[in-house]
A and B are shown apart, each in its own frame.
Chain A
């Protein structure tokens, strides 16, 4: 009975994930090939229109096409999320690998810094950085990178430290392979699974952070069609046109849900232990 449930769960997840991938593909095709409207095209005669063939999701308070903006927002929000994530991985993983391999002072120093950053919540770091540097998407991304690289450094370090003690690394050393070669050949394949899992779970959190802070004016600034910023702009019109509130929010929910389910799925697939997720 238990196995039946698990199969159902994985199956449902798979269906959702593949549906979503198809959706992304069609969105990409749509935005690149047949985008009908200019996302920043203002037409005050066409303000706050309801759904129609011309504007499937209606228009906003400046007469801009909502569907176009939501779709471009997908590129923007998810793109920013990916960018921050990629940089965090690119900084964190090498640092962690080096710390794990070299040990000693470098290792201790790095872990101290990592602990210090982990003590502070990401939103607070983002706010503090915005406070010191000014509000804007660049500073928000900087803050996210500053917080997130620590997770990847720790993950890479702990993987290296555990794997180092295993027999095959010793064997490789006996066979006269250099340390760097060992790292490249043996450790990275091990790391990739763990990083993918952590990254897919992080993507959702980062997207939530970007859109929340954009909503309160500390991230992407209007008129950029970032979903949080769109909600911010449209707030005075929510009561008259709830669609302005519903669509960007649903877009965020869908993307984050996808990234979380993907993370769960990858975690089961790579059989990564629980601590990676926390």
Chain B
């Protein structure tokens, strides 16, 4: 178990090193001057001295490698400083944003399970019948519809035209409904197909026939024997495709003006708010590490053979 965690941690470290190094290399070629964008926040005319002063303060005059070293050192100390825009400590802002993002992610997952579980199961149990065709069609379409566009349509229909649900901000649980539904629908199409094929595999196993021969009821067979056997491939893909989830959250937070870390980072990128961006990278690294480790460990729960490995036969 420690090996798994160490491996995952090493991956995060390699990634951070590489991505920051590549960006610092490219930074030379990148257009735009962060100093100018910071000063322009106040929309005042800026003097050349002011620019130079700020540039000096922020270390932008240092050679690239020194800047890179300082970035790494800051990062290691978890000292992200204050946001350029709001002038509040980045850590405090993130602390406010993380719960909102997690709430949205969990909401999206909940909707995904609500959609994918019945649709995938029905398609597997009645394969070749109309419900299977409908599920195939829906998931093909679902994979092609951009989540932000779906969000826009839902806002327009349910929010604006029908006025059923709030479309902006975070104010109580009902304001999380539309964003969660959008996120959940956007990610569910993959899982519908995956669950279907995995369930069909497990349904054809001998142990299901054996359970039927024992007169176990069909619902019991499905939930206790088939479904659990179908989960490992689904969890693998879930682990790999966290991108569509964590990334999807960013887009959806922006559309629904939902004050999570995704919206914060997009605002930060627009305003070239480096401390905030660093904070976001840090939170993402932690999140990816935690989720991937949980995925790894969940295999051990689902497969007793892995869990008991080393204990040997009787």
Chain A interfacial positions (CB closer than 8 Å to B):
1-2, 5, 112-113, 115-136, 139, 142, 146, 204, 208-209, 211-213, 215-218, 228, 231, 235, 238-239, 242, 245, 249, 252-254, 256-257, 260-261, 278
Q: Is residue B78 contacting chain A, with contact meaning CB distance below 8 A?
A: no
Q: Which 6 residue pairs spanning A and B have beta carbons closest together?
A: A123-B247, A121-B243, A132-B23, A131-B277, A116-B14, A257-B144
Write out, one digit per residue, whether chain B residues 257-282 have a CB within 8 A of any chain A CB (1) or not (0): 00000000110111010000100110
| Residue ID in chain A nearest B237 by CB atoms | A278
Q: Is residue B20 contacting chain A, with contact meaning CB distance below 8 A?
A: yes
Query: A121-B245, A239-B156 provided; 15 other pairs, C-beta below 8 A?
Result: A113-B14, A116-B15, A120-B243, A120-B288, A123-B248, A127-B266, A130-B269, A132-B19, A133-B27, A134-B269, A215-B255, A216-B250, A218-B266, A231-B152, A245-B149
What chain B residues lie within 8 Å of A132 (beta carbons)? 19-20, 23-24, 27, 277
Would you call B242 and A121 a contact (CB within 8 A)? yes
Would you call B250 and A127 a contact (CB within 8 A)? yes
Would you call B247 and A127 a contact (CB within 8 A)? yes
| Residue ID in chain B nearest A208 by CB atoms | B146
What chain B residues lie within 8 Å of A126 (beta carbons)? 247
Tell me the complex Cα distance, A126–B244, Å: 12
Would you call B152 and A278 a contact (CB within 8 A)? no
Q: Is residue B18 contacting chain A, with contact meaning CB distance below 8 A?
A: yes
Partner of B14, one of A2, A112, A146, A211: A112
What chain B residues lie within 8 Å of A129 (beta carbons)? 19, 22-23
The minimal Cβ–Cβ distance linking A251 to chain B, given in whole angstroms, is 10
Would you call A228 and B143 a contact (CB within 8 A)? no
Partner of A253, one of B11, B144, B244, B284: B144
Chain B interfacial positions (CB closer than 8 Å to A):
8, 10-12, 14-15, 18-20, 22-24, 26-27, 30-32, 128, 140-141, 143-149, 152-153, 156, 160, 236-237, 240-248, 250-251, 254-255, 265-266, 268-270, 272, 277, 280-281, 284, 288, 292
Would you call B265 and A252 a contact (CB within 8 A)? no
Tell me the complex Cα distance, A130–B143, Å: 25
Partner of A242, one of B24, B156, B243, B280: B156
Would you call B251 and A116 a contact (CB within 8 A)? no
Tell me the complex Cα distance, A257–B146, Å: 11
Tell me the complex Cα distance, A235–B147, Å: 15
| Residue ID in chain B nearest A2 by CB atoms | B128
The minimal Cβ–Cβ distance linking B33 to chain A, given in whole angstroms, is 10
The minimal Cβ–Cβ distance linking A76 to chain B, given in whole angstroms, is 16
What chain A residues lie within 8 Å of B144 (beta carbons)? 204, 252-254, 256-257, 260
Would you call A121 and B244 a contact (CB within 8 A)? yes
Would you call B141 and A257 a contact (CB within 8 A)? yes
Would you call B247 and A121 a contact (CB within 8 A)? yes
What chain B residues lie within 8 Å of A215 (beta carbons)? 146, 148, 251, 255
Partner of A128, one of B19, B128, B254, B255: B19
What chain B residues lie within 8 Å of A115 (beta carbons)? 11
Tell me the complex Cα distance, A117–B292, Å: 13
What chain A residues lie within 8 Å of B266 (beta carbons)? 127, 216-218
Known A-B contacts A211-B146, A245-B152, A257-B141; the reply to A119 vs B246 at CB < 8 A is: no
Partner of B250, one of A119, A123, A204: A123
Would you call B152 and A260 a contact (CB within 8 A)? no
Would you call B147 and A212 a contact (CB within 8 A)? yes
Partner of B265, one of A127, A134, A253: A127
Partner of B149, one of A5, A112, A252: A252
What chain B residues lie within 8 Å of A242 (beta carbons)? 156
What chain A residues lie within 8 Å of B156 (beta carbons)? 238-239, 242, 245
What chain B residues lie within 8 Å of A134 (beta carbons)? 30-32, 269, 272
Would you call A119 and B8 a contact (CB within 8 A)? yes
| Residue ID in chain A nearest B249 by CB atoms | A123
What chain B residues lie within 8 Å of A119 (beta carbons)? 8, 11-12, 15, 288, 292
| Residue ID in chain A nearest B291 by CB atoms | A119
Tell me the complex Cα distance, A208–B152, Å: 15
What chain A residues lie within 8 Å of B23 (beta carbons)? 128-129, 132-133
The minimal Cβ–Cβ distance linking B260 to chain A, given in whole angstroms, is 13
The minimal Cβ–Cβ distance linking B291 to chain A, given in whole angstroms, is 9
Tell me the complex Cα distance, A238–B161, Å: 11
Partner of B281, one of A118, A131, A209, A256: A131
Tell me the complex Cα distance, A28–B149, Å: 25
Known A-B contacts A133-B23, A133-B30, A142-B26; the reply to A231 vs B149 at CB < 8 A is: yes
With most chain B CB atoms within 10 A of its CB, the pick from A117, A215, A235, A261 is A215
